[in-house]
Amino acid sequence: MSKTVLDKVAIRRALISVYDKTGLEELAAGLHAAGVQLVSTGSTAKKIAAAGIPVTEVEQVTGSPEMLDGRVKTLHPRIHGGILADRRVTEHMDTLSSMDIEQIDLVVVNLYPFVQTVASGASQDEVVEQIDIGGPAMVRSAAKNHAAVSIVVDPVFYPQVISAAAEGGFDLKTRQRLAAKAYAHTAAYDTAVASWTASQFLDEDGDGVIDWPAYAGVALQRADVLRYGENPHQQAALYVDEAAPAGIAQADQLHGKPMSYNNYVDADAALRAAYDFEKPAVAVVKHANPCGVAVASDDAADPIADAHRKAHATDPVSAFGGVIAANRTVTKEMAETVKGIFTEVVIAPDFEAEAVEILSAKKNIRLLALPEGYGRNKNEFRQVSGGMLVQAGDKI
């Protein structure tokens, strides 16, 4: 039997528990000004209280202190009952009343920095401590009950939260969108945890042969919508993998038109070729095929410019309209050469200021600076119909 849909639901009581405290004080102040009662945990509650904003600590609600170094604090019926009760079901509301449990209308949660902790090279015990338990439980509870509860996992959305609190709450469509974002947040988190856990057993017997785990997953976040895909009739988007080494998907575009699908494919192929070498190297690629790859002479006055001249000379006709990747900073001298060649993209770890100025005179050329820590993925995925092929990254 279908239930009556609630549109706007006023925000009277909010639960806030965040690791990333960006914008926390402004959020708490805005909610308090709108008459919202705040409930919070640990360091989040302390930061709110230090800002002079009234807040009720979770242990005052549950009647149980935080325990086990904070591993258990919100896993309690007085918290999850207030989040999960379906307000359209009389029996649910009667249960809350009989147990003296107050409803929670808004949940603001973000999770422990698991991916960042793994990337930092932390020990296994340190990584395990960043596996959040209570956070995902609250996020999923609120998202499940989006018929009445709003869930926010991103500080970017805080201004809208403050506005909604002052204007009678979020409408159903917004709550549904917030729930979808919340499920994506926990799905990405769980994928990172599952992948890391499986990676601990890739060579259990020490024979150098990968013991491929039963599960392999990648969590992707949309970063951009592209004009079209490989062909004009195909739609396309760019997604990033926050758990992977930073790469072309996170590159900083310094100049030029937006990147296309084919620009990304060619630029990534060129990068892989250029970074196969320890010496200064340049690769020129067009339609995913190399036109030239070269390393600098040992006695070159400007090694990266020398490598580019050699790479271009390999096949200057095919290089027309191609992509250039360098494994060193693009210098003024290299830019002087490139400016006379029709080029779609130049990507490198950095650009000299004069090189940017020279190349920016060309309206359509795209200049991309790689993020710090650029590297290849440990494993590579290739889609096939019905599944994926996975192989160890090609590292020479």
**What proportion of the chain, given as a percentage, has pLDDT over 90?**
54
Superfamily of domain 221-369: AICAR transformylase, duplication domain (3.40.140.20)
Q: Where are the alpha helices (DSSP H) in the chain?
A: 24-33, 42-50, 58-62, 77-84, 90-98, 114-119, 124-129, 134-144, 158-166, 172-199, 261-274, 303-314, 332-338, 353-359
List the structure tokens of 13.
């009581």
Determine the Cα–Cα distance for residues 292 and 323; give it in Å rounded to an integer.
Answer: 11
What is the pLDDT, as a whole number, of residue 366?
A: 94
What is the pLDDT, as a whole number, of residue 161?
A: 93
Of 3, 279, 287, 378, which residue is the catalytic one?
287
* Whether the predicted pLDDT of 261 surpasses 80: yes
Q: Which residue has the higher pLDDT, 59 or 148?
A: 148
- What confidence category does residue 396 fall into, taking pLDDT thresholds of 50, 70 and 90? low
- What confidence category does residue 285 fall into, taking pLDDT thresholds of 50, 70 and 90? very high
Of 76, 92, 144, 181, which residue is the catalytic one?
144
What is the pLDDT, as a whole number, of residue 243?
A: 78
* Whether the predicted pLDDT of 301 surpasses 60: yes
- Please compute the mean of the pLDDT values over residues 87-104 and round it to a whole number: 83
- Please compute the mean of the pLDDT values over residues 206-223 and round it to a whole number: 77
All structural domains of the chain with their residue ranges: 13-198, 221-369
The question of whether 233 is a catalytic residue gets the answer no
What is the pLDDT, as a whole number, of residue 69?
A: 66
The question of whether 144 is a catalytic residue gets the answer yes
Three-point CA angle 286, 290, 291, nearest 5°: 80
Identify the architecture of domain 13-198 in CATH. 3-Layer(aba) Sandwich (3.40)
CB-CB contact of 56 with 30 (8 Å): no
What is the pLDDT, as a whole number, of residue 245?
A: 81
* Dihedrals phi, psi of 215, to nearest 5 degrees: -125, 135
Q: Out of 63-72, 149-158, 227-236, which region has the weakest mean confidence (pLDDT)?
A: 63-72
- Please compute the mean of the pLDDT values over residues 300-317 and round it to a whole number: 94
What is the pLDDT, as a whole number, of residue 343?
A: 94
What is the pLDDT, as a whole number, of residue 274?
A: 93
Q: What is the mean pLDDT of the chain?
A: 88
Q: What is the pLDDT of residues 320-374, one digit of tens each?
A: 999 999 999 999 999 999 999 999 999 999 999 999 999 999 988 999 999 987 8
What is the pLDDT, as a whole number, of residue 394?
A: 77
* Whether the predicted pLDDT of 1 surpasses 60: no
Q: In whole angstroms, how far apart are CA 343 and each of 232, 349, 351, 367? A: 20, 18, 16, 10
The residues, ordered by sequence, that sit 6+ positions from 334 with a Cβ below 8 Å of its Cβ are: 282, 302, 304, 305, 308, 326, 355
What is the pLDDT, as a whole number, of residue 201?
A: 65
- What confidence category does residue 220 fall into, taking pLDDT thresholds of 50, 70 and 90? confident
